[in-house]
Structures are given as C-alpha cells and as structure tokens.
C-alpha cells in the first residue's frame, strides 16, 4: 500500500516532468541512431585503384562495394593515392595480385582487406562460373562494426540514463527535505527503496522495451536470439543502475556531485564491457571488470544478439546482475539509517 503510494507518486512526477521523461526514453534512441550513422559512415566504400587488373576482378571488387578506378600505369595510381584520393591500389606483380594500402586509417585498411579478400575468394575457384562458397559461423557475413558495438550500447544506455535519473531524483528527495519528511511517517526504510524500485521499474521497463525494439527493428542491429531475452537483460541492467544510482546519491551533496560519478563509475564500465577486447588486458584488470554490472549485461547481450545465445547461456549473467541489484538495494536501506535509525 505504502510502496504503491510511493511508486504512484514517482510516476505522477515523471509524467509531469516531460523533459526528463523524454531524456530517459528518447535520448538513448537518439544516441544510438547517431552511433549508427557514425559507424556506417566509417564503412564507406573503399576507393581502390587498379593497374592492369582483368575485368572480372574489377567487377568482383565493385560488386563487393569498392569504388574502382582503373589506371594504365603504377605511377599514376600511386600518385593519386599520395593525394589521398585512393585508399588502395591493386596491381599484378607478375601474375600474383599485390595490394598497396594508403594505410593511415585503420578502419579503411580493414574495409579494403575485407573487399579484397571477398573478391579474390570469389575469383579463386577456377571453375566456370567462378563461384566460391562462403560460409560464416554467425550471420551471413553482413555484420558490421555497429552490430558488435550496438549490442553492447543497447545495454549501456539503459544503464547510463537510469543511473543518472534515479540518482538525481533520489538526491533531490534528500536535498529538498522530502526524504526527511517521508521518514517522519511510518514508512519503513526498505519500503522507501522498494517504492523507488517499483516506480522507476515501470519506466525502465518502458525504456528497455523501447531501446531494444528501436535497436533491432529500426536500426537493424543484428538479433540472432530472442527479443524477450534482450528485454530481460536490459531490464536487469536498468535495475542494477537504478539501485546503484540511488545508493551513490547518498554520497553526493548536489546534482553536480552526482555527475561526478559519471567518470568514476560509468566510464570505466564502458572499457570493461567488451567494447575493447578484454583478453589484451592484464589479469588483474580483467578481474576489476568482473566486479562491474555492465560487464555481465554486455556479455549476455552480445551473446543473445550476435550469437543467438539462449537462457542456458545467459542465466549466470542474469543471476549476477540480480545479485548486484539486491546488494545495492540492501546497502541503500542501510544508508538510509543515517536519516532514521529504524
């Protein structure tokens, strides 16, 4: 009853505060869209110059998305590349294909290599027609960088915005004195935390569904596994963010200090959530990553979205996330002791 009253009040406040509501629901979509544009922008068709390359190879390159310019001699082509008009030059060294890369942009190197490999593979079979069967472990070879990052970002945005908004609203409850006022009523401390969980939980559910739907259906991030599991993981991540945000707000005096937690708490999680390959990190640093909620959320989301992982593969991640939430919530109830002993 009291928990419901608290949750109901939070919902009412939310509905009146259109801007915050919009931030929570639309900002993740906006940033995801921007990310998509940025990453897709990087995958621009490689500009390849060819020197005395046979027609079928040029066609193969073009069909793989390259922007091909044929040249008569090597010098011309290399000069063009020197002016950064080309990303690579293909030529024949005797009968062996040779590639000279412009080489200043790692993404472009990758793009060129991908196109070249695909084309040569296609031509490699000396059968007629030149067809080489391509097979992929996951997906059909149309995965781009955004699929990989996107699967993690979907979870990250749930986490980030819920962390901030829940933290700030709990902080304001304290700085405006309403928390004290609440604790002068027979409301129990755990009921305060539960009320927040319920009230915000409804919005995080809404947010998680919206992000998951938008990312997979509108932006077209790969989704091999079940949409429902993506939703579940997003929700669990958001709950961890909610409890962590409200807990940490106890250690901030004002909104500005709440924002100071972003570089301390949020940014490190980005590094550890798999956007950067963890294997290259020292052992102890990897252990640090495993103490952060986003690590588990990202791990599960990548599994579901890119590899079609099912419940059997992600239940450990789920349980760890629930454990984080429970831990943070309990600590929160204890932190409220500062305001009322019982």
Q: How far apart are CA 114 and CA 66, in angstroms?
A: 10
Rounded to 5 degrees, what are φ and ψ at 50? Answer: -125, 145
Task: From 11-19, 36-44, 202-210, 253-261, give the range in contact with other proteins by CB under 8 A.
Answer: 11-19
Classify the C-alpha dihedral 14-16-20-25 as positive or negative. positive
Our finding on whether 254 is near other proteins (CB under 8 A) is no
Burial 87-116 (b: 16+ CB within 10 A, else e): bbbbbeeeeeeeebbbeeeeebbebbebbb
Q: What is the DSSP letter of 65?
A: T
Task: From 7-15, 25-33, 253-261, 268-276, give the range in contact with other proteins by CB under 8 A.
Answer: 7-15
* Smallest distance, other proteins to C-beta of residue 340, A: 6
Closer by beta carbon to other proteins, 110 or else 340: 340
Our finding on whether 341 is near other proteins (CB under 8 A) is yes
* Smallest distance, other proteins to C-beta of residue 254, A: 16
Using an 8 Å Cβ cutoff, are 61 and 48 in contact?
yes
Residue choice 11, 17, 27, 42 for contact with other proteins (CB under 8 A): 17
Fill in the per-residue mask, 180 to 219: x = in contact with other proteins (CB under 8 A), - = not in contact: xxxxxxxxx-------------------------------
Using an 8 Å Cβ cutoff, are 271 and 187 in contact?
no
Nearest to 26 by CA among 149, 234, 34: 34
Closer by beta carbon to other proteins, 5 or else 132: 5
Closer by beta carbon to other proteins, 184 or else 206: 184
Our finding on whether 121 is near other proteins (CB under 8 A) is no
Nearest to 87 by CA among 63, 122, 116, 60: 116
Residues that bind other proteins (CB under 8 A): 1-2, 5-6, 8-9, 12-13, 16-17, 176-178, 180-188, 339-342
């Amino acid at each position: 009853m009291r928990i419901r009253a608290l949750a109901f009040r939070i919902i009412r406040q939310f509905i009146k505060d259109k801007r915050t509501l919009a931030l929570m629901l639309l900002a993740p979509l906006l940033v995801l869209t921007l990310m998509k544009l940025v990453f897709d922008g990087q995958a621009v068709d490689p500009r390849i110059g060819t020197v005395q390359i046979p027609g079928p190879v040029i066609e193969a390159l073009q069909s793989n998305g390259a922007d091909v310019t044929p040249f008569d001699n090597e010098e011309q082509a290399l000069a063009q590349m020197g002016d950064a008009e080309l990303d690579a030059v293909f030529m024949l060294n005797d009968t062996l294909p040779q590639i000279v890369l412009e080489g200043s942009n790692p993404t472009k190197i990758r793009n060129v290599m991908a196109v070249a490999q695909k084309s040569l593979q296609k031509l490699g079979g000396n059968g007629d027609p030149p067809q080489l069967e391509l097979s992929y472990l996951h997906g059909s070879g149309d995965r781009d960088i955004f699929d990989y990052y996107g699967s993690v970002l979907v979870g990250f945005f749930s986490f980030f915005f819920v962390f901030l908004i829940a933290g700030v609203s709990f902080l304001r409850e304290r700085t405006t004195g309403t928390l004290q006022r609440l604790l002068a009523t027979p409301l129990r401390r755990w009921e305060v935390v539960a009320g927040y969980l319920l009230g915000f939980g409804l919005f995080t559910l809404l947010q998680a569904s919206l992000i998951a739907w938008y990312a997979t259906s509108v932006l077209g991030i790969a989704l091999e596994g079940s949409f429902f599991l993506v939703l579940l993981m997003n929700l669990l991540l958001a709950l961890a963010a909610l409890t962590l945000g409200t807990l940490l707000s106890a250690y901030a005096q004002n909104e500005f200090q709440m924002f100071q937690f972003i570089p301390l708490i949020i940014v490190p999680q980005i590094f550890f959530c798999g956007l950067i390959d963890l294997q290259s990190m020292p052992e102890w640093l990897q252990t640090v990553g495993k103490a952060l909620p986003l690590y588990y959320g990202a791990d599960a989301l990548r599994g579901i979205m890119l590899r079609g992982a099912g419940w059997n593969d992600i239940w450990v991640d789920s349980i760890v996330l629930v454990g984080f939430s429970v831990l943070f919530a309990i600590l929160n109830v204890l932190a409220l002791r500062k305001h009322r002993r019982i």
